[in-house]
Amino acid sequence: MTEIIDGNAVAEDVRAEVSDAVDELESAGVTPTLATVLMSTDPASETYVSMKQDDCEEVGIDTVDVELDSDAPATELYDTIDDLNADDDVDGILVQMPVPDHVDEKRVLRSIDPEKDVDGLHPENIGRLVAGDARYKPCTPHGVQRLLAAADVDPEGRDAVVVGRSRLVGKPMANLLTQKAAGGNATVTVCHSRTADLAEKTRGADILVAAAGVPGMIDGSMIADGAVVVDVGINQVDADNEKGYELVGDVEFESAKEKASAITPVPGGVGPMTRAMLLHNTVTAASLRSGADVSL
C-alpha cells in the first residue's frame, strides 16, 4: 500500500522542536524575532504572511509586521530592509515574494543581512550551502529532506530526479540531495523546460521531486514502480466548488499513487513543512546571533 506522507504531522513535530528551542533561548534572555515585509495586495501573499505570523505566535517567536504600499517607490522597500538589518532586536527578515514589477527582486535578496536571511537565499548563504557549510538551508528543500527522513527514505546511493531549477527550490534541492551528508549522497538529475523526453528521466528516479509549478505535469506513466514522489507544486486551478478553485500539485495524484511507494499530497504535504522550517531557521538565527546554543 502506498504511504501518504503527512506533512502536517511532520511539521507539528518540527514546531514542537522549535518551541522547546525557544524556551531554551528565553532562559538565556533571548526572544527570537521575525520581521515580515509585505509589499503586495495579492490575497495569497497576504494569507501566507498572516499564516507565518500565526505560526510564530504558536511557538513563541515574536514578530514585526511591516506592510508597504505596492505602488510605493522601490527605495521604500530597500530602506525598510536597511532599517531591519540595523535593528538588533530582529533576528530574521522575510520579504514576501513576489514583489511588484518595479522592485528589483535580486537587489531585495542581496540587501538582507545574510545572518538574518532566514529564507537562505542571499548569495552568501547560497554559496555556503553549495560549499557544504550551510548557515540556513532554504525552507522548502530543507522541509523535503525532513519529510524523506520521516518516511525512512535515505537518499544515499539512490537516483534522484528534481524537476525544476528555480533558485528557491530546484537548485538548492538538487544540491542538498547530492551533498556528502545525512539526507544526501544521492545521484541527482535536474530536469527543466528544455529537458528532452522528460518521462524517460523521471521513470529512472528512485526519488522524484516535482517543483516546476505546472499543474499535473507528471502522471503515473512517468513514475517507476516503487518510487518515492515529493510534490512541491501548489497550483490554483478553476474548480466547480464554493471557492471557484482548488489547489493541485505538479503531480497527478491519483495515477501517481498507484505507482509510488510513498507520495506527498497537495495540500498537506510540502506546504506545511516550508512554514515549519522558516520557524526553525528563525530560531537558528537567534541562536547564532546571540551565541546562545540551543538543541535543533
**pLDDT tens per residue, range 227-244:** 999 999 999 898 889 888
> Which amino acids are annotated catalytic?
52, 96, 119
pLDDT of residue 245: 86
Percent of the chain with pLDDT over 90: 94
Nearest to 254 by CA among 267, 246, 263, 243: 263
**In this model, does residue 44 exceed pLDDT 90?**
no
- Average pLDDT rounded to a whole number, residues 200-219: 97
The answer to whether residue 176 scores a pLDDT higher than 90 is: yes
**Which band of pLDDT confidence, cut at 50, 70 and 90, is reported for residue 161?**
very high
